[in-house]
Amino acid sequence: MTKSSKAKRYGYWIIGVFALSVLFVMYFEVLDIKKSKAATSSPSNTKEMTLNVIPLKRQNVELINQYIGYITPIKSVSLVPNISGYLQDIWVQGGQEVKIGDNLILIQQDEYKARLDAAEASVGQAQAAYNNASIYYQRIKKASSKAVSKTDFDNAKAQFLSAQAALAQAKANYALAKVNYDYTVLQAPIDGIVGNVDLTAGNYVSPSSSPLIKIIQYNPIRVVFSITDKEYIQEIKNNKETLFKGENIKLRLANNILYPYSGEFKFTDNEINRSTNSISVYADFANPDKMLVANAYVDVLLEKKLNDVYLIRQNYVDMSSGGNFIYTVRGGKIYKNAIEISGIKGDNYVVSANFASDEYLVTDKVKKIPEGTKVKIKQVAE
């Protein structure tokens, strides 16, 4: 066989292989089209999807949020003397209850009594000098200008004014001496309970000394706790005029018992703590039995009742940066609904929203189903 005939046969073979390849490709494309048509016309795909749902029921819910709080006195005073001297008597003991104005400590009075007596005597002298100067000045004023020279009149007036000023100065010195004398007796400036008293008669004290005793008001007493910035905004929305209106503030003590008295909300702090994104809340509690002690930690239970809300399991809520959503079926179609979460109760979110009476909550994962898609429902146990 010649080279020319061999080349022709090889060319025919290549052309044949190429033609068979084209036929195979066309065959499989036609087969795919038929399968696609069969799939689109299949009765199973034209069937509506069935979703598991539960009914949406409005209900009244008691919500309890728990916070860590600490106890602090509403008023506390560290007693420091206003004068210097030696302690003479201590009339108070540690742990004693005192009332405002009760005598607590006595500083030796001899020196301050002597100063007070001297100041009183100076007032008497100044008063006598003033009386004489006043009488003489009034007599000079009544005399005729021919009987009294202008120089005598001016001198009488100057003596009167000088005596008047001296009397005023003497009275001021007496008032100061009286104040210092009164400072020898230290009195309770508030009602409360006295802390540790570590004083001995004969100790020297002064205004620069450490506080002698500390008095703390114990009834009522204050509890401070913090809520998040989101909770604070929610409170503002719910109770614009009075925060925590209709809510019950209770305490659980260290021994795990509930404190018998409810608290009264007083005020919130004037700024957010940037490190915790929270704001402090102040509430006062009756404390007749002294069960609440300053600086102790307690659990604060904030109880509130929410009416006409929904309890929705947390795993049924789609939470994203765009908001919180649930999926419902209404009128045979699926819908995506934005919700507002008012709190948490157990495994459920407490949700504020408005749903139709014939609307159902979807319990299946349907995030990718377009809104408005027609579906069938199957009601399941809640």
Identify the band that residue 5 occupies on the pLDDT scale cut at 50, 70 and 90.
Answer: low
Domain boundary among 281, 304, 327: 304
Say yes or no to pLDDT of 44 above 60: no
179: its two tokens: 């104040």
For residue 293, the domain's CATH number is 2.40.30.170
Three-state helix/strand/coil letters over the chain: CCHHHHHHHHHHHHHHHHHHHHHHHHHHHHHHHHHHHHHHCCCCCCCCEEEEEEECCCEEEEEEEEEEEEEECCCEEEECCCCCEEEEEECCCCCCEECCCCEEEEECCHHHHHHHHHHHHHHHHHHHHHHHHHHHHHHHHHCCCCCCCHHHHHHHHHHHHHHHHHHHHHHHHHHHHHHHHHCCEEECCCCEEECCCCCCCCCEECCCCCCCEEEECCCCEEEEEEEEHHHHHHHHHHCCCCCCCCCEEEEECCCCCECCCCEEEEEECCCCECCCCEEEEEEEECCCCCCCCCCCEEEEEEEEEEEEEEEEEHHHCEEECCEEEEEEEECCEEEEEEEEEEEEECCEEEEECCCCCCCEEECCCCCCCCCCCEEEEEECCC
Q: Both 128 and 59 in a single domain? A: no
Q: Both 85 and 211 in a single domain? A: yes
Q: Both 196 and 241 in a single domain? A: no
Are 51 and 368 in contact by the 8 Å Cβ rule? The answer is no
Say yes or no to pLDDT of 23 above 70: no
Q: Give 88-114 pLDDT, tens digit per residue.
A: 999 999 999 999 999 999 999 999 999
Q: Give 48-68 pLDDT, tens digit per residue.
A: 789 988 989 888 888 888 999
For residue 316, the domain's CATH number is 2.40.420.20
Say yes or no to pLDDT of 42 above 60: no
For residue 139, the domain's CATH number is 2.40.50.100
At residue 234, the pLDDT reads 81
Which residues form the domain of 322? 49-64+307-379
Q: Both 188 and 281 in a single domain? A: no
Q: Both 81 and 69 in a single domain? A: no
Q: Tell me the mean pLDDT in the region 355-365.
A: 88
Q: Both 129 and 10 in a single domain? A: no
If one counts the domains in the chain, the total is 4
Q: Which residue has the tokens 């404390």?
A: 287
Chain centre distance of CA 310: 28
Q: Both 84 and 121 in a single domain? A: yes
Q: Both 206 and 253 in a single domain? A: no
Higher pLDDT: 356 or 167? It is 167
Q: Both 136 and 209 in a single domain? A: yes
Q: Both 176 and 223 in a single domain? A: no
293 CB-near residues (< 8 Å, 6+ apart): 71
Say yes or no to pLDDT of 45 above 50: no
Q: Both 56 and 9 in a single domain? A: no
- pLDDT above 90: percentage of residues in the chain: 52
At residue 112, the pLDDT reads 95
Q: Both 57 and 107 in a single domain? A: no
At residue 39, the pLDDT reads 42
Q: Give 293-335 pLDDT, tens digit per residue.
A: 999 999 999 998 888 889 999 888 888 878 888 899 988 899 9
Domain boundary among 243, 275, 304: 304
Average pLDDT over all residues of the chain:
86
Q: Give 63-93 pLDDT, tens digit per residue.
A: 888 999 999 999 999 999 999 999 999 999 9
Domain boundary among 252, 275, 304: 304
Q: Tell me the mean pLDDT in the region 232-254.
A: 86
Q: Write the single-letter amino acid at 8.
A: K
